[in-house]
A and B are shown apart, each in its own frame.
Chain A
């Protein structure tokens, strides 16, 4: 990954950004930091080249969202977190959704106790037969909290507005002021089912000045793919549950349990928590254990095929086809990432574009499908399960004995790492000053994809929403931070 820092004037930033976008760069993150005044940082990526464009907004920042629609969520977040004003007016709050004294990500003491919640605004769709259905934040079943507002005409959804932020914990602020290698436990808990990906992205920053042993890198790749495996299997089982296809659902959940048990055998934790640390991995995984994993995965592969055959059922396919279609054009517009983007025909996979750990040494096929409906997202996941099993097999075949942990070293300055989490491109960026974290920013793949879902749902009927939601399989806590 090659990071290029560009500073520019306030007047040039729009031109610079649109030039980069025209050259094939995609907006990855936007965040503000303080250093002799507020700085705006715009992160863009094309394959393995990352550009950090920074400028001082002064009184008011330049809005990019008119030319690059994908920038809108970031602008809303920056406005409410860091108190950046934009020349074209205010921004609706997105995650923290509180107003009051100060802004949580500005330096200096912050007391949030006097802040008051911003009330949920009514939907924009109004009309004689338009009804608004509020759902959540407490849902049936064990899922995370989030409020949804549907505007419906009969059963057809006209507009969907998610109102998230119920799991906002102030992770970015909690990172500040600590030694870069000290916060692995916090990072592992940003989003429970993305633990390995977050830990790897964080570790790549915290160990950027040291050489991590090859065996540790191979084992990290194994853990990353195990995480993708259990996420994708859980997601497919969820699709079956939501369509009341009970036998396949039980089978999928049974497979999920087996993978989680195998996770525990590997690392002592069913969700692989805290095994990846800056400088390598916490404890070596024995060759016997790896061989047993390999044997288990061969059996799993047959079970996945069996599940696939079971799900090749006309009734189920009818439910999934044409449901919740996110067109390629829309997906590009909102900057969708991960399996969601790949199901809409966009070939974007960090593992291929900017290989990290040992992905450069592995052979795999990026799973791209059309046309962005529930079926294509499920097919992408099925394809990736097979690829993951093959990648883990390649890793286990090629692993060499050696060290697994070194002392992490990190230099001052700006660092950035990008990882393909199960849900897509996960971006961590840090500014280190005097050996301590000055500013840390996380961009979870769910963040842009939530907006993708808002484009995929309208036009579908209300009973299909849970299915569409499941096929996007987005994280609330990763989004809310």
Chain B
């Protein structure tokens, strides 16, 4: 009973903390540019504001356009329930790695459809660019997580992998974990439309990838799209924190363990958030047709991680 409650609580916490993560990234970036920046709570205010507004929907769209925000939000909530954030006993013991990868794909695919629905040139461009990247992200992501599954020998559930790896202690640290972690980090940047793959704060429609697909959304629809993309970033960070560097994650539902895990996880998340902001500040957006090079590098890293398991 208690593990289930904690499982529910951690999924809720993950969704609730997502706007804060985005707020901290923006704030850190602003400070690095010498600006004051908006409060870290600004994303919450933005979402509240958008939720209070009506949606304007183009007459050329079908029901699909309205359904996409729900599919996106839904797939992210399911992912939040499957991700070991604080406690490894997640709510979805049967949702394995393949389901995780394809929930991300479902999210992306429905967003691409939503981008095409509006019938504008920008949405179409964003969708086609997103699909180009998606084809390259998917194998790297699948391979990187599979490496962990093999390394931990605990099956394909994310919670089990996390539990098993943290139980292995320093034995788990090896080429496989480090290479897979590097690959996963590149995938994190690409999946979440961060610099150098995309510029999350641009106003130039012609260069957009992720934002171009959201251009037609407004009001509540936009709030859901924004929140789900924030949750996606947080899920990725939680996966990086609790699977690639799982030490500190609670493996039992003991109150002490949970409290320690909350502290450790917060520190890890903060570190990753600031690092992300730093990476975004020192890099500039690459040319669109050079992004496949980076994604191929990510794939190669995860392939090497997998090979190292058998060779070393």
Contact = CB atoms under 8 A, between A and B. Distances in A.
Best-surrounded residue of B33, B121, B284 (most CB of chain A within 10 A) = B284
Best-surrounded residue of A155, A245, A250, A463 (most CB of chain B within 10 A) = A463
Interface string A103-137: 00000000000000000000000000001011100
Contact of A244 (B34, B199, B205, B287): B199
A133 B128 CA distance: 14
Contacts of B29: 246
Interface stretch (B149-157, B167-175, B275-283): B275-283
Given A246-B32, A461-B289, A464-B287, 18 more contacts: A133-B121, A240-B284, A243-B284, A244-B195, A244-B196, A244-B202, A244-B284, A244-B285, A245-B284, A246-B195, A246-B280, A247-B32, A247-B33, A250-B35, A315-B283, A318-B290, A461-B288, A463-B287
Given A247-B32, A250-B35, A462-B125, A141 B284 contact: no
Contacts of A464: 287-288
Contacts of A319: 284-287
B206 interface: yes
A254 B287 contact: no
Contacts of B282: 247
B124 to A, nearest CB: 8
Interface string A235-259: 0000010111111011100100000
Interface in A192-249: 240, 242-247, 249
30 contacts: A134-B121, A140-B203, A140-B204, A141-B204, A155-B129, A155-B288, A240-B284, A244-B196, A244-B199, A244-B202, A244-B284, A244-B285, A245-B285, A246-B29, A246-B32, A246-B33, A247-B33, A247-B281, A250-B34, A315-B284, A318-B286, A318-B290, A319-B284, A319-B287, A461-B288, A463-B206, A463-B287, A464-B287, A466-B206, A466-B207
Contact of A315 (B34, B35, B286): B286
> What interface size band does chain B fall in?
20 to 34
A465 interface: yes
A466 B204 CA distance: 7
Nearest to B198: A244
Q: What are the 9 tightest A-B residue pairs by CB atom distance, in nearest-first order? A: A250-B33, A245-B284, A244-B199, A140-B203, A244-B285, A463-B207, A133-B121, A466-B204, A243-B284
Interface string A309-325: 00001011011000000
Nearest to A156: B289
Given A155-B289, A319-B287, A461-B289, A140 B35 contact: no
A140 B205 contact: yes
Nearest to A470: B204
Contacts of A251: 33-34
Nearest to B125: A462
Interface in B176-220: 195-196, 199, 201-207
A136 B281 CA distance: 30
Contacts of B281: 246-247
A216 to B, nearest CB: 39
B127 to A, nearest CB: 13
A77 B23 CA distance: 51
Interface string A420-450: 0000000000000000000000000000000
B186 to A, nearest CB: 15
A249 B201 CA distance: 13
A464 B206 CA distance: 8
Best-surrounded residue of A246, A250, A251, A319 (most CB of chain B within 10 A) = A246
Contacts of B280: 246
Contacts of B207: 242, 463, 466
Interface string B256-291: 000000000000000000000000111111111110
A464 B282 CA distance: 20
A250 B206 CA distance: 22
Contacts of B285: 243-245, 319
A465 B206 contact: yes
Contacts of A463: 206-207, 287-288
Best-surrounded residue of A244, A250, A318, A466 (most CB of chain B within 10 A) = A244
Contacts of A462: 125, 206
Contacts of A313: 284
Given A246-B29, A246-B33, A247-B33, A316 B206 contact: no
Contacts of A134: 121
A47 to B, nearest CB: 40
B249 to A, nearest CB: 33
B27 to A, nearest CB: 13
A214 B280 CA distance: 52
Contacts of B33: 246-247, 249-251
Nearest to B289: A461
Contacts of A141: 203-204
B290 to A, nearest CB: 7
Contacts of B199: 244
B205 A254 contact: no
A135 B204 contact: no
B289 A318 contact: no
Contacts of A461: 287-289
B82 to A, nearest CB: 32
Contacts of A247: 32-33, 281-282
A465 B125 CA distance: 14
A134 B206 CA distance: 11
Interface string B154-167: 00000000000000
B105 to A, nearest CB: 23
Contacts of A133: 121, 125
A240 B285 CA distance: 10
B205 A135 contact: yes
B178 to A, nearest CB: 24
Contacts of B129: 155
Interface string B21-47: 000000001001111000000000000
Nearest to B209: A463
A136 to B, nearest CB: 10
